[in-house]
Structure 1
């Protein structure tokens, strides 16, 4: 009796042939998309509160500018902060516009190393006179209030700043522009950070930046920016702030009117310290007119030749007068938005090529693995792990592409689209097909062993009195150990989960639920940088299930070599780019441990390819191999060299002679088509002897078994 093909309508108790549940798949996908795209209902209420606050600030500030009565008071702390600023951020000499120039557009991302200063501690290693520089500031602070404002955050561990800023230029003719963005104080050792919201002003003439920073969820009061700027610029800054507040009011009114989406920002409960920003852009070594040509070409590319673009670097000081702490940064690198999107476009192009190659390879692999006998050798978990990785890649690419809203958004979404195609159309469906074909095998392996019934006592045994004189034997009571309570609870939860999964008879639903939970678990893991290595290492162990299945079943050539090698190399591009490329689009730092992941993936690839040539268990000690493989190519007596016919006999399939010196001496099946366990070398690969003792050409028998599963005779 031949094994039915996947399309056959045969139904067995162990593998019921049920219709594929498309409703379940659509429902699960809809839930994921809803969770990813749902808007916070409190956004509009928060925007309305912000609008009322801005309108109140506008009315009072306008009255203050006009010299009429108002509730606005300018808080000037420069008399006690200026010595600190001068000590930590030395002033720069003016530049010659004919030789040097400053960037006027800093929109983009900033990253740099930072140094922390605890100004309230006289024993801290200061290089200046503490009593004269910091003493006036600290003497007026309440220590209890200061500690409450600092909160539980480990400020001394801050070693890096990272953030993004956006230039907001009201009028192209003004010599300044306002800044808005976010700055993170990062403690790399503890993997924690505190997020601050930034608003400031950038003066083009000297490349100086002044700003106010408040914890996340609190809006900086731009009106208090006036004392920070030099006295010669304060009057211009005061009226510029009025125009900026008017612009913010109009933007908020439009958002409320159009009911724009978004997420409400929670207040940062870690700290309540406010900060002042003093920063200085480093000058480029070419005149102003060349800088104008360069920035014009960066903003609207025309192909015109310009000077080479120098890196944008900044020095600065971040000072908190109310908490007596400060951060300095030197040579912080700014990646302008135009450069970032160029890098993002190049990355998207290479990532799309990698995904296209993987798509091509998996299509060819699925075309090769069409029959039940070839699919039976493939592990579905190999494709399930790749499906989880591609689902995560899809969500990441699409999210970045939608949020960015730039000219590079479409290019970033392209790899996500290919990842979704790979995940939904090929990997998940192929995994479920493998699961359906291997269902009877798995069910037989899980089938419980029925205990042998106790023998019925004979008549003589039944009539034997129970109290007959018999030698007394001391009964041995079993020592039953009571498991701890937590173990009982865990076992109950596991049994309940297993019962729930077993109650779902639809294999598609089971697989989708496993994929969904694995994906959500992966998202939670990657939030913690400490667990990223383990998450990536687990995802890049996708060849391990196939290696184990080859060893368990004693099979080889389950997957094509080109699929294994090509998929491994293409998938390694993503972690190597993120954790090795210094200018990657995710701003991830170089991590030497990523070489362990790459080596682990290449080792799996080498073992999987080696199983094809050296045998499924070549890398294991002989004592660990529990199965005995049938030798399809046993040594046999060679025909006489002087005989007119050197044939070993006729092939039971093609009925031709089996000759040792034939052209098929290499074994001859197409890559990925071999179904014979073990490894035959040299002339032994020409013939194959089945357990029924019939002799075949190896190539003929492989082609026969690929369809019929069992021998012809």
Structure 2
């Protein structure tokens, strides 16, 4: 019965994933001391009423505290005194982007359209560099009581104070922002005012500190003003009512009123959904990623107020506002019109943290040169999805070519002889890469709904490659190489048995020597003890276990029958019983043969050492899942550690030719895989790495790393060069002969001297003169006269070369031969390439290499004498 214990582990993992409760919906109520949902709704309604009754001229900071909202209490000690300077800096960025028209638009003076073309639908991806703002010098760092902000423990007591998340301590770093123009906290149609000027917006921001290598991801929610291209966003938590105070972060009274009206409607809808229990989130404006729920025991985080100002798109020609509007409409609702490529989005950034006291800006003009960095740039969402579809089509084509090459290799390796040459682990690594691609694409498709069809289609093609072809090829190779593994396991078991028997024999010998050394001492002790007369007079009677010594002969006749001289040494008595062997060998005991029990134990030990393909199948998918989970975990590591991990993982994956090199050495095999398969797979498997390491606008926004890409490419092609050298020079040219098991060389150096026994038997010569031996046994006898006559070639075109006949293609075969009397190193003059043109079998028949290799794909027998041939 097959061993199915390996299925238990994946079943437990799947059951845990499926049956585990959602932390957001099923919290541990007895350990949860948070306010109830009704209390949260009451506090939200109070904060909303404060916003509704507030005015634009409300003061806050050291001059007064008129806003009765969380985060504005005097005892908090937040750096609200710096907010006025932050607003002035945001107005400067607006003036740089839109000029005097933008300053007038803040106050509602929009008599004429904007001269600067801007995207009204600001959805997409932007990325760039950030730096410390000039305002940092005037922004004090608040001295917060960390114990007050420490998350409570599972039993209600205050937890251990930890450092604030998103606390930027470096001077520069990277930032990536994804725009999502949608409702603040709920799906559905987008809220937009009648004046068509303001809408809700949420962004996903990833910020990296280049000095500490810390990386944080957060969600911010706020509003976006279409006419001036400005977004104001903030975080919301238990220590900062950011979404309620958002209108007071506006730069003018006009924008304050617009944001206030929009948020009044939006927040009211969210509170109503909480009251109707359509959502149980205590913080619908959480900064966590979607699907993670409320992080009850997470540490405190630095709050952020973010200003994003859209700049004119970068293009080779200046587009008008009307054309930008038409281009944007064509991207969102395509009609097939021929339009130029859409320019990238451009935004300047200003981030202010009131509780951690830092101010960050994006690098770019006018303070920095555009060559160094041009603020935050990136493609629009529609353009990004279009490029992603094109890239997925190219990757799908690469997967199709990989599958095509694999099918050709499977058709080429359709016989046991050819499958036995291929390394099982080489094909397993290739299949493992396809399986990793399948699971990665299916996982990404859950989050990128716009690319769901493309991702699932590409993942399904990779699934076909690994399940229907890769695993089938692995199964065929596994069954063909099963006898080889059994012989190797049996040899290991027999070697262990021999070592155990040798150890037991040595132990018995040591015990016998110890007993023999102890017995004379006891005899001498009894002889010197007069108190024990019985033991002194006791004699040993001959028994079956103690043979009676034979009487020593005083004379021994020599060869002539005369007695030996008196001075001759006497024979020594060995106390051994003489054995007389009759002429007919009757009465001899048979040689001890291994018993059936020993043979059964050996077979059981061999069977235990040989895993089944089902257990290997389970290990394959467990390794695949473990690699996927570890890779997902590595995405949250610091940037250098993450880069090192994925580069190391890529090196392991791209080492798929190493097992084939090792198998070529073990079997002394030159050609196991087709060169189109080797070269094609090497190039196609490098394509994803070239995309992510060398293409700047990749879908994952990975940084360009030409050093890592060069390392991966060089590593792959070094393996290919080693395979080529094994084909030309020999499989074992780079190792010592003692490092590999002995194997037959089909390309020996041919010598004329018969003692070497390397000259082949000429098939045509033997058939022509009629004196060739009629049996293979006579042919293999190097000293027979027929073999000597047959070893002479039928023709010699020049010195050092002989011509033979190939019995497969019936054509002449010219080979280099070392003449008699030449030095031992003269065989090297024949050249490695010349020796690769012929193959000599152990039965001393010679053929063209291509002819015999084609023959051995189907039969491991000599075409002439039908002798068994060793595999290539």
TM bin, normalised by shorter chain, reads 0.7 to 0.9
Mapping for residues 545-560 of structure 1, pairs under 5 Å? 545-560=659-674
Cα distance in 2 between the residues matched to 1:53 and 1:583: 47
CA distance in 1 between counterparts of 2:40 and 2:513 reads 99
| Alpha-carbon contact 1:397-1:416 (below 8 Å) kept | yes
Q: Residues 74 and 382 (structure 1 numbering): CA distance in 2 closer, same or farther, change over 3 Å? A: closer
In 2, Cα distance between equivalents of 1:304 and 1:416 = 32
**Does residue 604 of structure 2 align to residue 508 of structure 1?**
no
SS in 1 for 2:447: helix
Counterpart selection for 1:574 from 688, 699, 708:
688
Q: Quote the residue 2:718 is aligned against.
A: 603
Contact 2:805 2:811 in 1 (8 A): yes
Please say if residues 633 and 684 of structure 1, whose CA atoms lie closer than 8 Å, have aligned partners that are also in contact.
Answer: yes
Pick the structure with greater CA Rg. Answer: 2
Is 1:420 matched up with 2:463? yes
Q: Where in structure 1 are there 5+ consecutive unaligned residues? A: 1-17, 118-125, 471-498, 666-678
1:164–1:67 CA distance, 2 compared to 1 (3 A):
closer
- TM-score w.r.t. the length of structure 1 is 0.76
Over 3 Å counting, the alpha-carbon distance change for 1:599 and 1:52 in structure 2 is farther
* Partner Cα separation in structure 2 for residue 629 and residue 369 of structure 1: 22
- 8 Å CA contact 1:384–1:431 kept in 2: the answer is yes
Query: Using the alignment, how far apart are the partners of 1:67 and 1:642 within structure 2?
Result: 111
1:372 and 2:416 correspond: yes
Cα displacement (A) at 1:296: 0.6
Give 1:340 shift: 1.3
Q: Is the 8 A contact 2:202 2:233 kept in 1?
A: no
Q: Distance in 2 between matches of 1:190 and 1:443?
A: 55
Gaps of 5+ in 2: 28-33, 55-66, 73-78, 102-111, 151-160, 183-189, 281-289, 364-374, 523-604, 751-758, 760-791, 817-829, 868-872
1:630 is aligned to 2:745: yes
User: Does the C-alpha gap of structure 1 residues 554 and 243 become closer, same or farther in structure 2, counting only changes over 3 Å?
Assistant: same
Change (3 A) 1:50 1:302: farther
Residue number among 406, 430, 435 corresponding to 2:473 in the alignment: 430
Map Cα deviations across residues 282-321 of structure 1 (whole Å, 9 max, x no partner).
1244332222111111111112244642221111211011
What aligned pairs does 1:116-131 form with structure 2 within 5 A after superposition? Answer: 116=132, 130=137
Q: Pick one of 110, 114, 131 that aligns with 1:115.
A: 131
Under a length normalisation based on structure 2, what TM-score does the superposition of the two structures give?
Answer: 0.63
SS at match of 2:669: coil
More divergent stretch after superposition (96-105 vs 633-642): 633-642
Q: Which of 563, 583, 586 is matched with 2:697 structurally?
A: 583
CA apart distance, 1:523? 3.8
**Is the 2:71–2:241 contact (alpha carbons within 8 Å) kept by the matching residues of 1?**
no
State whether residues 361 and 562 of structure 1, in contact with CA within 8 Å, keep that contact through their aligned partners in structure 2.
yes
Is the alpha carbon distance of 1:200 and 1:536 closer, same or farther for their aligned partners in structure 2, counting shifts above 3 Å?
same
Question: Corresponding residue for 1:648?
Answer: 804
- How far apart, CA to CA, are the structure 2 residues paired with 1:547 and 1:183? 47
Distance 2:334 2:70 in 1: 44
Residue 104 of structure 1, aligned match among 109, 115, 120:
120
Distance in 2 separating the partners of 1:143 and 1:462: 77
Report the equivalent of 2:344.
311
What is the alpha-carbon distance in structure 2 between the residues aligned to residue 312 and residue 425 of structure 1? 44
Deviation at 1:325, TM superposition (A): 1.4
Contact 2:233 2:307 (C-alpha < 8 Å) held by counterparts: yes
Q: Closer, same or farther in 2 for the Cα pair 1:697/1:64, shift >3 Å? A: closer
Q: Distance in 2 between matches of 1:295 and 1:623?
A: 71
Residue in 2 aligned with 1:163?
177
1: CA distance, partners of 2:609 / 2:810: 56
Kept after mapping to 2: 8 A contact 1:146/1:322: no
Q: Matches of 1:288 and 1:39 in 2, distance apart?
A: 53
Number of the residue aligned with 1:299? 332
2:409 touches 2:677 (CA, 8 Å); kept in 1?
A: yes
Q: Tell me whether 343-352 or 289-298 shows the greater mean CA deviation.
A: 289-298
- The residue correspondences of 1:432-581 to structure 2 (distance < 5 A) are 432-446=475-489, 447-448=492-493, 449=495, 450-451=498-499, 452=501, 454=505, 466-468=518-520, 505-517=611-623, 519-521=625-627, 523-525=629-631, 526-527=634-635, 528=637, 529=642, 530-581=644-695
Instruction: Note closer, same or farther for the CA distance 1:465–1:578 as it changes in structure 2 (3 Å cut).
Output: closer
SS at 2:379 equivalent: strand
Tell me, yes or no, if the aligned pair for 1:432 and 1:511 is still in contact at 8 Å: no
Query: By how many angstroms is 1:543 displaced?
Result: 0.6
In the alignment, the residues of structure 2 paired with residue 50 and residue 298 of structure 1 have an alpha-carbon distance, to the nearest angstrom, of: 46
Instruction: State the distance in 2 between where 1:710 and 1:45 align.
Output: 70
TM-fit CA distance, 1:522: 5.5
How far the C-alpha of 1:550 sits from its partner, in A, is 0.6
Cα deviation digits, residues 649-669 of structure 1 (max 9, x gap): 572xx5x7452279xx9xxxx
Q: Kindly provide the CA deviation profile for residues 378-409 of structure 1, in whole angstroms up to 9, marking residues without a partner as x.
A: 11111121222222211111122232111x32
Q: Is the 8 A contact 1:281 1:313 kept in 2?
A: yes
Which residues in structure 2 correspond to 1:349-360 (within 5 Å)?
349-360=393-404
1:326 alignment partner in structure 2:
359
Q: CA RMSD in A?
A: 4.2
**Range moving further from structure 2, 58-67 or 355-364:** 58-67
Shift of 1:53: 7.6
Return closer, same or farther for 1:182/1:265 CA change in 2, 3 Å cut-off: farther
Question: Secondary structure of the residue that 2:200 maps to in structure 1?
Answer: strand
Q: Is the 8 A contact 1:149 1:323 kept in 2?
A: no
Residue 197 of structure 2, aligned match among 172, 175, 178: 175
Structure 2 SS opposite 1:43:
coil
Structure 1 residues 429-486: Cα deviation after superposition (integer angstroms, max 9, x where no partner): 32233233223323332423123553998xx99996634379xxxxxxxxxxxxxxxx
Aligned length: 622
Residues 266 and 165 (structure 1 numbering): CA distance in 2 closer, same or farther, change over 3 Å? farther
The 2-side partners of 1:286 and 1:514 are apart by: 55
Q: Kindly tell me: are residues 50 and 182 of structure 1, through their superposed partners in 2, closer, same or farther at Cα, counting changes over 3 Å? A: farther
Task: Spell out, residue by residue over 1:627-660, the C-alpha distance to the aligned partner (whole angstroms, 9 max, x if none).
Answer: 45423465355423599xx973572xx5x74522
Contact 1:51 1:249 in 2 (8 A): no
After superposition, the C-alpha distances for 1:611-636 in whole angstroms (9 at most, x for unaligned) are 22332234557786664542346535
Does residue 220 of structure 2 align to residue 198 of structure 1? yes
1:487-545, CA deviations, whole angstroms, 9 ceiling, x for partnerless residues? xxxxxxxxxxxx9x958953222342144135414541544413111111111101111
Which structure has the higher relative contact order (CA within 8 Å, separation 6+)? 1
Q: CA offset at residue 43 of structure 1?
A: 3.5
Q: Are the counterparts in 2 of residues 150 and 323 from structure 1 also a CA contact under 8 Å?
A: no
Alignment of 1:227-238 (within 5 A): 227-229=248-250, 230-238=252-260
What SS is found at the alignment partner of 2:346? strand
Cα distance change, pair 658–146 in 1 and its aligned pair in 2 (3 A): same
